[in-house]
Structure 1
Amino acid sequence: MIEKGFTKPTDRIIRLKNQILNARPYVESERAVLATEAYKETEGLPPILRRAKVAEKIFNELPVTIREDELIVGAITKNPRSTEICPEFSFDWVEAEFETMANRVADPFEIPKETAAELHEAFKYWPGKTTSDLATSYMSKKTKDCMANGVFTVGNYFYGGVGHVCVDYGKILKIGFRGIIAQAVKELELLDRMDPSYIKKQQFYNAIIITYNAAINFAHRYADKADELAKAESNPTRKQELQQVAQNCRRVPENGATTFWEACQTMWFVQCMLQIESSGHSISPGRFDQYMQPYLEADKSIGREFAQELIDCIWIKLNDVNKTRDEVSAQAFAGYAVFQNLCVGGQTEDGLDATNDVSYMCMEAVAHVRLPAPSFSIRVWQDTPDEFLFRAAEVVRLGLGVPAIYNDEVIIPALQNRGVSLADARDYGIVGCVEPQAIHRTEGWHDAAFFNVAKVLEITLNNGKVGDTQLGPVTGEMTNWKSVDDFFEAFNKQMSFFVRHLAEADNCVDIAHAERAPLPFLSAMVDDCMGRGMSVQEGGAIYNFTGPQAFGVADSGDSVYAMKKFVFDDKALTMADLKEALDANFGLAQGAKAAGNGSTEPTEEQVYAAVRQVLVNSNSTDMSTLKDEVYRTLAAGNGNGGGNGKYDGIRRMLDSAPCFGNDIDEVDMIARKCAQIYCKEVEKYKNPRGGQFQAGIYPVSANVLFGKDVGALPDGRPANAPLADGVSPRQGKDVKGPTAAANSVAKLDHFIASNGTLYNQKFLPSALAGDNGLQHFASLVRSYFDHKGMHVQFNVIDRATLLEAQKNPEAHRDLVVRVAGYSAQFVVLAKEVQDDIISRTEQVF
């Protein structure tokens, strides 16, 4: 038998989980107030020392909170699943939403009036002083115009702190914060005063010492709190737990861990303090099984069940972290996403299989906790044990959208191609959604921008215009194109123009962070900042990248193929007719009005008239040919009474074209080319930290939000509709089964998209039932990876369950689904994001 099933969670874990499920997210003001006070007190200091003083004040004065039943302690906020504000990065959008954030479409937060008043007072200090203010001042008007017109957005680091990083948890487990301080002191002593960089390096090391002494005090404050609670506790079992918590917090993370419990507490303190220092999301725990396994093996006194409960507690704590964003960004990241990616499996630096006991215990934790965080991932390669993959399939079958599965055979060479050493590439982890990086050696600036490939296609079709504005270069009217090559010539020029402005925008934000918000706590745990004497924001990491991601690839590929087929090859449609239909959005608004019944489709009489005409005049007996002739007849406006039937017919014709996702080479190669054009443009650019830009193809949930900025497309998609997510086929268009869909996706050049690709599949639960279902699933993954796909993730749920959850959200609060590179509670998602998930093709084997 392959199936093993999962044990039940302890009562403690159920209670802790309910705290998260029942939590009402609040915005809190303590961090903002403390940070503002620290900045006011340090006006004359260099930026790195100001940041150290900010961290010092926060670590020393932020309220200390130990929640009921906790074995692992440390909190960012007083209330569960709430958020603090970091005004040094941006603030005005918060004040603008004081009255609306509680009721907005995506990710609402309560802001009590007293909190709003405290934030308002703190915000008075910040106009003109934030990183976003500085970045904006560096950007050209044209770059800002590109963002305003929906071509791309750099909102992630523009409004927040730097994230998307994995630090050296293993180093802290070994030497503790005291070891970091000792290293900084040693580096200070070795500095050459004649070195021109002496002053900057001296400031950096002093900032480390200040920050890490305060971080030690932060943990000691938790020890004091646990002692206080223990003295007042009447339950002897809980009293003993609190006493041990206090003992743990007095030892770690100041010193190296000596027990598995101490190791778990150390890992969480690091994770928690990184979130406190900066508002950057996607602070990812990395290869948890690799740095935790030695402590499990060495701790002979711990039982397996208690060790599992401690890991479960970390899972709960990861769900306690929350962040608020501006209203528009909240829609792009819908579902209170924080993207803490925890990865297991894969290879060691020596190229041996890395699977261990903790790898499997993490899967058990997913089954026990069943909450959106962490973004749980596994690495697979040719020597991955079948047992490991089957166990992962059992987790997938739970319907939580995890684990996401990554292919070592693609990612390792893709990283090597970017200059990462073999050993470091083998030791990659996933951060954020799907982004691979050489862990604790990289400042990757992943998720640096959303780039709308479909919008660039639309602009190309309109000769560089958005409405009446000449946003891009003049590249020729589409009605003058004689072949698909003419389109690609224009598309390449538009892509080059807009990617250049994307790079400018990202680099402006990058420079602003280096100048105003270097992060000493983070930097000390990223190689080789300590050796180089500079922060990650200034280029201290070994590997430096900037990773903007694209979406709308399948829409673009399908659109270009439809033009090629119906305009240039079959001559069934003129480019002038296509342009007219696109400009009219296929007559959808007019159609609804003409029909008088809210319908945007031709009436039955119109369709029957077209069918009659074709049957009378056609000599063909092939059903596919007859269908095409019916669409052409509707397109010509014949037999349908005029009105909007012409546009409906064109849309139906375009919609009938073969699509990406069905293992059709001619179609898939066009999608591949569209993606490559973007990726090759991106990699032409360098960033201020001395590193290279690298492209990714993943959307978060921006395919829904930014689909609103895109007009009608030649694939038959009407204006403002969602775009395809990541490298996935368009919703409902992959009709030949999961293997055909995976084969199409694998044909994209995943090696060049080294910042990550994202592929969603959705299965009916019956498809994965029993041992046969698990074996079929494992075979699909192996086959897709053999064809050089990079990543795949799954929703295992049926449409009826999702529709029921929409109607009765209170009864489905614990329903978790995969959105994009993360999972979320289905009922907290905006309805349009829910609808996008519902519309994905339901696959069966």
Structure 2
Amino acid sequence: MSITQKMIDDAFARSEDRRNGLERDYLQKIGHLRSKSEDFHNLKCARVTAFILENYSVEIDEGELLFGRYTTAFRPTPAMEDEYRQACLVWDGAGALKGSDVGSTGHRAVDLKKLLKTGVKGILREIAEEKQKLSAYDGADVGKRVFYEACETALQALCSYGRRVRSTLAALAAAEQNPARRAKLEAMAQNFSAAPYEPCKHFYEALQCAWFATFCMALTGDITLMGHIDDYLFEYYEKDIRDGIITKDFAFTLLEHLYLKHNEVFNSWPASIMVGGVDESGRTICNDLTYMAVEAIRTTKLVNPSVAVCYTDGLPEDLLRSCVDCISEGYTRPSLFNDSLIRKGLRDAGVQEADACRYIHSTCVEITPVAASNIFVATPYLNLNRIFEHLFAGKPYKVGRMNHIAMSYADDGDDFILARDVPGGLGGITSFDAFFSLVKEFIAAHIDAAALRILEIVEYRRRYYASPLVSAFMGCCIKSGLDSSAGGAKYNFVYPAFPGVINFIDSLAAVKKACFDEKLLTLEELALACKANFKGYERIRQYLANRCPKFGNDIDEVDSIAREVHETLYACMQKYTTALGGKCYPSYFAWIMHGVLGKMTEATPDGRPAATALSEHLGPVRGMDKNGLGAVVRSIAKLDQSKGIGGIATNVRFTKDFVSDGKDRRAVCDFIRYFMASGCFEVQFNVVDGKELVEAKKHPEQYRTLMVRVAGYSDYFNNLADNVKDEVIARYEYGAV
């Protein structure tokens, strides 16, 4: 048994169905309206969560083996629409006090292993034990009591939803005339006969329970990730295989259905699954489910889940080869993460050894310890290239404000202005060291301004956000009696991201060579060229772009600048501690923000024209890698990437011809081992012809499911902005390693 092309097509169609969010949005708003009198924000959030779970429809179609996706049949009556309009007015007017805003959604994984082992019953028992310790005479325990009540409310609603699912599936089975389909529906109903309230006993039940919890958290607006499925699901698989309860083929089919569900629920938003790595004893995790997780990428063919392999020295050669085979066929996944380097970075950041072994790449490449985290990812996106607009173009230097909810960079409105005079003007700068020193002052000022907003946002979320269902699946929160957003999580790191950092480094190298080493033009002349977007200065642009050294070519002169920028960013960010005790760590990936910020950024001294996409990863700017992949690795290895637990992406694009035979694929395996041994963080691949990408841009309707690696994640090419499409097209295609 396996999935069919129709199932894949249906999953893709469901992922793009505009009706997906209608019922969830309706229930959220009505739930908020009906709980508006609740004073405590986390209890209000729990009641909204419960209202959604207790009323959301149960929808299942023929062919599905796992329950849990958005419904499309929701049709509100006129009376419901009237109440919804009233609810929206209350929602919109509530502001920070609405009490339904969830915490660090989308960038963490909860303790699904514990859920499968103890069931919700065990977690409720643990909460009851902690409540027994509270004092009726201590005001400090009031907040804990409220937190525990919120968790109980959310957990009970989860179980209530599970019972409704079981009842619906049993009724469908009883009415089903086809014996084969009836048996499948009965098996699906059986998965909910005990779980999620009771512990799981079998693989099918455990997989369904883990997905059901994941789906419910997404449904209530508090997205979590499934983590290391080859770790916590393997004991159920192994036992069922040994006892003859399940076959390997059926287990693989279930995993395929899990992948289809990821596409239906998350569409192209990168929902992570990780496999491999090591356990707490340092033993490599590798089993049947590890291999299946890679193989299912090929058979399901869609963009989700965002599968990654934690690379260790003990990773079997045939598993690595399977990864390369999958990539060679154009599937863009899995990406590969350097497990030992990441664990070192986590330990250096104060993560306990047991937690350092359990981490997830939370959507793109950012690292989040499982079941213990309230991480602020890409908070904010910072564009260092704006510094040149002040130094060269005479503009006030602005650091955009961040939205409290999205925590995104917004380069408009009331920006922080960091205008200051350049002592003596540009003509007064007589050495590159003096110029670089001034630039580093602006880096520090840039981060200072951003840090102020970061600290405000963390405090804002501590006061007004809550995640009762997610927090219930984090033992540290239950032990402390605090919501994950309010200090209950062990780890509260902040990861500012720096799209365009390589443009910034290349620009510094260009300034050094053009204005100080060779003295071909003055800083004032370079400023005029950039301000004019190189109109009338094309020879200068060509010189800056093609004759000045570029990062990623193993040139010590520019790589030393990169190392100093990296160390400066790290040192500047380490000065700050949030209200939750979290420190800041840099990240070098961009999601789509290299396109967004690039459109806002004027021409830069590396020869990049205005409005074009910025660099998206830790590697050469597209088209600037001239000395081969070995040189790329040697350049980026000069940076201490263990300090980049915020996430570091390195993109590599191969030609289809190169990876078409076994010898070349073995060479790619060798390259991956060399990459990891050199101390590099993560590598991800594209295997797609440039001509195909050009055609896809011209005729998008013919390439609906064409996937590419962007800047830390995979997406459908059609989803990208035009300047990001151009960036992907312009990447260098390697025909050898």
TM-score by length of 2: 0.92
Structure 1: how far apart are the matches of 2:330 and 2:235? Answer: 31
Q: Which residue of 2 aligns with 1:96?
A: none
Q: Is the 8 A contact 1:433 1:822 kept in 2?
A: yes
Aligned partner letter, 2:256: D
Structure 1: how far apart are the matches of 2:441 and 2:661? Answer: 52
Residues 461, 72 of structure 1: CA spacing in aligned structure 2 closer, same or farther, 3 A cutoff? same
Residues 38, 219 of structure 1: CA spacing in aligned structure 2 closer, same or farther, 3 A cutoff? same
Q: Is the 8 A contact 2:390 2:419 kept in 1?
A: no
Q: Which residue of 2 aligns with 1:125?
A: 90
Structure 2: how far apart are the matches of 1:502 and 1:666? Answer: 30
User: What pairs up with 1:712-731 in 2 under 5 angstroms?
Assistant: 712-731=603-622
Residue of structure 2 aligned with 1:66, choices 46, 60, 63: 60
Q: What percentage of residue pairs aligned between the two structures are identical? A: 30
Aligned partner letter, 2:29: T
Aligned partner letter, 1:791: E
Structure 2: how far apart are the matches of 1:811 and 1:723? Answer: 28
Structure 2: how far apart are the matches of 1:570 and 1:113? Answer: 75
Q: Deviations over 1:8-33 (max 9, x none)?
A: xx553433211122344315333333
Structure 2: how far apart are the matches of 1:442 and 1:22? Answer: 34
Q: Which residue of 2 aligns with 1:683?
A: 574
For residue 368 of structure 1, report the CA deviation from its aligned partner.
Answer: 0.8
Q: Is the 8 A contact 2:641 2:680 kept in 1?
A: yes
Residue of structure 1 aligned with 2:155, choices 178, 200, 212: 212
Q: Which residue of 2 aligns with 1:56?
A: 50
Q: Which residue of 2 aligns with 1:304?
A: 248
Residue of structure 1 aligned with 2:12, choices 12, 21, 27: 21
Q: Is the 8 A contact 2:274 2:308 kept in 1?
A: yes
Q: Deviations over 1:87-127 (max 9, x none)?
A: xxxxxxxxxxxxxxxxxxxxxxxx99999988655321123
For residue 581 of structure 1, report the CA deviation from its aligned partner.
Answer: 0.9
Aligned partner letter, 1:349: E
1:190 aligned onto 2:155 = no
For residue 196 of structure 1, report the CA deviation from its aligned partner.
Answer: 3.7
Aligned partner letter, 2:30: E
Moved more, 234-243 or 487-496: 487-496
Q: Which residue of 2 aligns with 1:361?
A: 292
For residue 541 of structure 1, report the CA deviation from its aligned partner.
Answer: 1.1
Q: Which residue of 1 aligns with 2:486?
A: 538
For residue 670 of structure 1, report the CA deviation from its aligned partner.
Answer: 1.3
For residue 525 of structure 1, report the CA deviation from its aligned partner.
Answer: 1.2
Q: Is the 8 A contact 1:545 1:692 kept in 2?
A: yes
For residue 248 of structure 1, report the CA deviation from its aligned partner.
Answer: 0.9
Q: Deviations over 1:175-211 (max 9, x none)?
A: 1112111111121112233444211111111111111
For residue 727 of structure 1, report the CA deviation from its aligned partner.
Answer: 1.1
Q: Is the 8 A contact 1:557 1:672 kept in 2?
A: no
For residue 160 of structure 1, report the CA deviation from its aligned partner.
Answer: 8.5
Q: Which residue of 2 aligns with 1:420?
A: 351
- Classify the secondary structure of the residue corresponding to 1:765: coil
User: What pairs up with 1:173-184 in 2 under 5 angstroms?
Assistant: 173-184=116-127
- Classify the secondary structure of the residue corresponding to 1:387: helix
- Classify the secondary structure of the residue corresponding to 2:668: helix
1:504 aligned onto 2:452 = yes
Q: Is the 8 A contact 2:41 2:98 kept in 1?
A: no
1:200 aligned onto 2:143 = yes
- Classify the secondary structure of the residue corresponding to 1:446: strand
1:41 aligned onto 2:30 = no
For residue 400 of structure 1, report the CA deviation from its aligned partner.
Answer: 1.5
Residue of structure 2 aligned with 1:402, choices 323, 330, 333: 333
Larger radius of gyration: 1
User: What pairs up with 1:55-134 in 2 under 5 angstroms?
Assistant: 55-78=49-72, 121-131=86-96
Q: Which residue of 2 aligns with 1:709?
A: 600
Q: Is the 8 A contact 2:393 2:528 kept in 1?
A: no
Q: Is the 8 A contact 1:434 1:758 kept in 2?
A: yes
Structure 2: how far apart are the matches of 1:662 and 1:158? Answer: 46
For residue 243 of structure 1, report the CA deviation from its aligned partner.
Answer: 1.3
Moved more, 159-168 or 512-521: 159-168
Q: Deviations over 1:317-371 (max 9, x none)?
A: 011113xxxxxxxxxxxxx542211101111111111111110010111111011
1:437 aligned onto 2:368 = yes
Structure 2: how far apart are the matches of 1:122 and 1:779? Answer: 59
Structure 2: how far apart are the matches of 1:116 and 1:828? Answer: 32
For residue 309 of structure 1, report the CA deviation from its aligned partner.
Answer: 0.2
Q: Is the 8 A contact 1:63 1:78 kept in 2?
A: no
Structure 2: how far apart are the matches of 1:158 and 1:752? Answer: 31
Residues 658, 475 of structure 1: CA spacing in aligned structure 2 closer, same or farther, 3 A cutoff? same
- Classify the secondary structure of the residue corresponding to 1:692: coil
Q: Is the 8 A contact 2:102 2:465 kept in 1?
A: no
For residue 709 of structure 1, report the CA deviation from its aligned partner.
Answer: 1.3
For residue 77 of structure 1, report the CA deviation from its aligned partner.
Answer: 3.6
Q: Which residue of 1 aligns with 2:541?
A: 651
Residues 475, 38 of structure 1: CA spacing in aligned structure 2 closer, same or farther, 3 A cutoff? same
- Classify the secondary structure of the residue corresponding to 1:73: coil
For residue 448 of structure 1, report the CA deviation from its aligned partner.
Answer: 2.5
1:260 aligned onto 2:203 = yes
- Runs of at least 5 residues in structure 1 that lack an aligned partner in the other structure: 1-9, 85-110, 135-156, 323-335, 588-643
- Classify the secondary structure of the residue corresponding to 2:438: helix
For residue 69 of structure 1, report the CA deviation from its aligned partner.
Answer: 1.1
For residue 682 of structure 1, report the CA deviation from its aligned partner.
Answer: 1.9
For residue 475 of structure 1, report the CA deviation from its aligned partner.
Answer: 4.9
Aligned partner letter, 1:519: S
Aligned partner letter, 2:567: Q
Q: Is the 8 A contact 2:690 2:729 kept in 1?
A: yes
Structure 2: how far apart are the matches of 1:524 and 1:703? Answer: 36
Residues 133, 390 of structure 1: CA spacing in aligned structure 2 closer, same or farther, 3 A cutoff? same
Q: Deviations over 1:756-776 (max 9, x none)?
A: 111111111222222212211
Moved more, 23-32 or 422-431: 23-32
Structure 2: how far apart are the matches of 1:193 and 1:68? Answer: 53
Aligned partner letter, 2:703: H
1:228 aligned onto 2:171 = yes
For residue 375 of structure 1, report the CA deviation from its aligned partner.
Answer: 0.7
For residue 133 of structure 1, report the CA deviation from its aligned partner.
Answer: 9.4
Q: Deviations over 1:261-318 (max 9, x none)?
A: 00110110111011122255xx221111101111100112100100000011100101
Residues 489, 185 of structure 1: CA spacing in aligned structure 2 closer, same or farther, 3 A cutoff? same
Q: Is the 8 A contact 1:164 1:444 kept in 2?
A: yes
Q: Is the 8 A contact 1:442 1:544 kept in 2?
A: yes
Residues 434, 680 of structure 1: CA spacing in aligned structure 2 closer, same or farther, 3 A cutoff? same
Q: Which residue of 2 aligns with 1:289?
A: 230
1:316 aligned onto 2:260 = yes
Residues 132, 373 of structure 1: CA spacing in aligned structure 2 closer, same or farther, 3 A cutoff? farther
Aligned partner letter, 1:737: G
Structure 1: how far apart are the matches of 2:155 and 2:671? Answer: 47
For residue 666 of structure 1, report the CA deviation from its aligned partner.
Answer: 1.0
Structure 1: how far apart are the matches of 2:639 and 2:86? Answer: 51
Q: Which residue of 1 aligns with 2:433?
A: 485
Aligned partner letter, 1:252: A
Q: Which residue of 1 aligns with 2:408?
A: none
Residues 648, 118 of structure 1: CA spacing in aligned structure 2 closer, same or farther, 3 A cutoff? farther
Q: Which residue of 2 aligns with 1:570?
A: 518
Structure 2: how far apart are the matches of 1:457 and 1:751? Answer: 29
- Classify the secondary structure of the residue corresponding to 1:717: coil
Q: Is the 8 A contact 2:104 2:374 kept in 1?
A: no
Q: Is the 8 A contact 2:222 2:467 kept in 1?
A: no
Residue of structure 2 aligned with 1:452, choices 383, 405, 417: 383
Residues 504, 65 of structure 1: CA spacing in aligned structure 2 closer, same or farther, 3 A cutoff? farther
Q: Is the 8 A contact 2:385 2:503 kept in 1?
A: yes
For residue 512 of structure 1, report the CA deviation from its aligned partner.
Answer: 2.8
For residue 131 of structure 1, report the CA deviation from its aligned partner.
Answer: 4.0
- Classify the secondary structure of the residue corresponding to 2:132: helix
Residues 459, 518 of structure 1: CA spacing in aligned structure 2 closer, same or farther, 3 A cutoff? same
- Runs of at least 5 residues in structure 2 that lack an aligned partner in the other structure: 399-411
For residue 410 of structure 1, report the CA deviation from its aligned partner.
Answer: 1.3
Structure 1: how far apart are the matches of 2:167 and 2:387? Answer: 57
Q: Deviations over 1:51-89 (max 9, x none)?
A: 11111111101122213311110223437xx9x9xxxxx
Structure 2: how far apart are the matches of 1:666 and 1:159? Answer: 46
How many residues of Structure 1 are paired with residues of Structure 2 in the alignment? 712
